Each structure stands twice: as C-alpha cells, then as structure tokens.
Amino acid sequence: MENITLNNGSTCPVIGIGTFMLSPADAENSVREALKMGYSLVDTANAYVNERACGRGIVASGAKREDVFISTKLWPSEYENPNAVDETLERLGVDYVDLLYIHQPAGNWLAGYRQLEKAYRDGKAKAIGISNFEGKYIEALQTKWEIVPQFIQVEAHPYFTQVELRKTLDRYGIRLMSWYPLGHGDKSLLQEPVFAALGAKYGKTPAQIILRWHTQMGFVVIPGSRNVDHIRDNLNILDFTLTNDEMAEIARLDKGERYYHRTDEQLKQFAGWRPEFEKA
Ligand SMILES: NC(=O)c1ccc[n+]([C@@H]2O[C@H](COP(=O)([O-])OP(=O)(O)OC[C@H]3O[C@@H](n4cnc5c(N)ncnc54)[C@H](OP(=O)(O)O)[C@@H]3O)[C@@H](O)[C@H]2O)c1
C-alpha cells in the first residue's frame, strides 16, 4: 500500500473502504473483507450508524489495531456533547482514531472543531479533519483554528476536481480525501469513453482508471462497495501509472459540476437531526 505524509508528519494509506449507506451487516462484511485483502483504511461516521459494525469488521479481519487507519466523523448534533469523542471511540471499540472529522459546517461547528483539537491534544485522534467545509466555511475556520487540520473530505471526481479549494489546501498542506470518487456509481461517469480506452491499454476497469486518477492527483480515495469483487478491484490500482497526457485528457472532463448540492436549509436540518446509534 502506498502512503502519503500529512502536515503533522503522520502517514495515511491512499486507498480505503468507504461505508456510507452501508447497513451494519454490509459494513461489517465489507470492512472485514477489505482488511483481509490488504486495505488498511476504513472510513465511517457517526451519521452512517455503522461504527459498531465497522469495529466488529476490523476485529473479525484479524488485523492489528496499529495496522488499520480508522477515519470517522462527528455529526453536528454531537458538537456540543462533551462526551462525543469518547462515545465515538466506544462504538468503534478503540481508544483512539487515526482521523476524526467534523462532518458538516452545521450547528455549532466551532464547538465541534474545538472537540477535535482537544481529542488531538489528548491523543484520541492522531489527525483531524473537516468535511464539506468548502468556500466560506474553510475561510471562517482559518481565522479560528488552533491546529491546522490534516484533511478535508469533500466531493471530488473527474467531473468536479475542487480546483478553487485546492489552492487553499496547498497553502496549508491539507490533504483531500475524495467522497463520491466514482460519482456514487454514476453510469455516465463510469462509461466515459476515455476510461474504457485507458482501461483497455492498462488491462483495468473504468472504475480502476478513475481511482488511479484520484491517487495521482494526490487525493486519498475511499470508494464504497458491498461487492467483494469491486472491493478487490478498487485496491488493485497501484501497479500502473497514467501518463501526464492521460491525466490531462481526464482533466478535460471537469465540468465544475457536483452531484450533491447542499442548501442552507439542509444544513439547518442536519443540525437538528440526531443519528439513532446502533445499540451496544
Ligand atoms: N463526508 C461526506 O459528507 C461524505 C459523503 C458521501 C460519501 N462519503 C464517504 O465517501 C465514500 C465513497 O462515497 P460513496 O460510497 O457514496 O460513492 P462512490 O465510492 O463514488 O460509489 C459507490 C458506488 O459505486 C459502486 N462501485 C464501487 N466500486 C465499483 C467498481 N469497482 N466498479 C463499479 N462500481 C463500483 C458501488 O456499488 P457496489 O456496492 O455494487 O460495488 C456503489 O454503488 C463513502 O462510502 C463514505 O465513506 C462521505
């Protein structure tokens, strides 16, 4: 597995398994199988309501705790809960996470960010991050952070490459973790002719070409899947390198267009919604 070095000197694998919209049973299965086949990064969140299942999958895989990079996210309803970090660790069954995000710039997100900073200082989070904090939100946070985050997790794929945001990230050495790296499975993205052509050249599927593009862009990818064959394919992308011309050809697909458009109204709803956590 390739790793990247973060702005605090720690490292992170470039490929992980995503678990958004996976039921606890599917998340446990995908995490266990992914770790058994050589993954070492798992991405979950309070809001996915599958942290306990991910914890079970990690144990069932037989992987050692120190060999797994666990990434999770505090949901806005937890930002003012002083026990939010400890409760998250308890659900995962661990005494630290490798990366802890605040999930949305909703509610009292500064209180949430302060919880991350405290968790970082206490050794309960080895790295911290912000999720969905593009534009005015990262600008506001920049004037308030005491610890610069190591990561931002945002929508990114060949149709939407976060050109503007990356200028800010470069200034601080913040790494981008792509969500919807495969366009959430969108057929029109996967069926772009350029990916079929490059797939034929390298003996790879279109999804593998897209994921390799992410890693060559310097992004960490966390494709979600409940299909063991896809999970295996998504790991098997580091044995070829797209040329500069091929990267440029893929860059021409950028339409500056997201799949997911979040509104201010949704942010208000996020702040008011509480995940119904899995029972112990
Ligand atoms: N921070 C945030 O707000 C946020 C938001 C969304 C997602 N995320 C994170 O980002 C991760 C990735 O996003 P995502 O899971 O929504 O979308 P995605 O990874 O872009 O796409 C997942 C979809 O692609 C399919 N797929 C996976 N591998 C494939 C392959 N090799 N070939 C063809 N199809 C494939 C999956 O179906 P199968 O199950 O059939 O493989 C699934 O339908 C999430 O799981 C989550 O951890 C974070």
How much is the pLDDT for 260? 96
Pocket lining: 207 vs ligand 1, CB cutoff 6 Å: yes
Percent of the chain with pLDDT over 90: 99
Whether residue 103 is predicted with pLDDT greater than 90 in this model: the reply is: yes
How much is the pLDDT for 44? 98
Catalogue all structural domains in the chain, each as residue range(s) with its CATH number: 12-272 (3.20.20.100)
**Mind listing the pLDDT tens digit for each residue in 214-226?**
999 999 999 999 9
Q: How far apart are CA 90 and CA 81, in angstroms?
A: 15
Q: How far apart are CA 140 and CA 160, in angstroms?
A: 23
Pocket lining: 226 vs ligand 1, CB cutoff 6 Å: yes
- Specify the length of the chain in residues: 280
Tell me if residue 120 is catalytic. no
Please count the CA atoms within 13 angstroms of the CA of 59 that sit on its side-chain side: 9
Which value, in Å, is the radius of gyration of the alpha carbons in the chain?
18
Mean pLDDT over all residues of the chain? 97
Whether residue 1 is predicted with pLDDT greater than 90 in this model: the reply is: no
Pocket lining: 182 vs ligand 1, CB cutoff 6 Å: yes
Whether residue 280 is predicted with pLDDT greater than 90 in this model: the reply is: no
How much is the pLDDT for 253? 98
Tracing tokens 């490459």 back to the chain, one arrives at 161
CA 249 to chain centre: 25
Q: How far apart are CA 166 and CA 250, in angstroms?
A: 17
Residue 279 gets which letter from DSSP? P
- Segment 209-216 shows an average pLDDT of 98
- Segment 199-227 shows an average pLDDT of 98
Identify the residue whose C-alpha is closest to ligand 1 atom 9.
Answer: 179
Q: Which of 48, 113, 159, 180 is catalytic?
A: 48
Which helix (H) or strand (E) element contains residue 33?
A: helix 24-36
| 94, 55 Cβ separation under 8 angstroms | yes
**Per-residue pLDDT band at 73 (split at 50, 70, 90):** very high
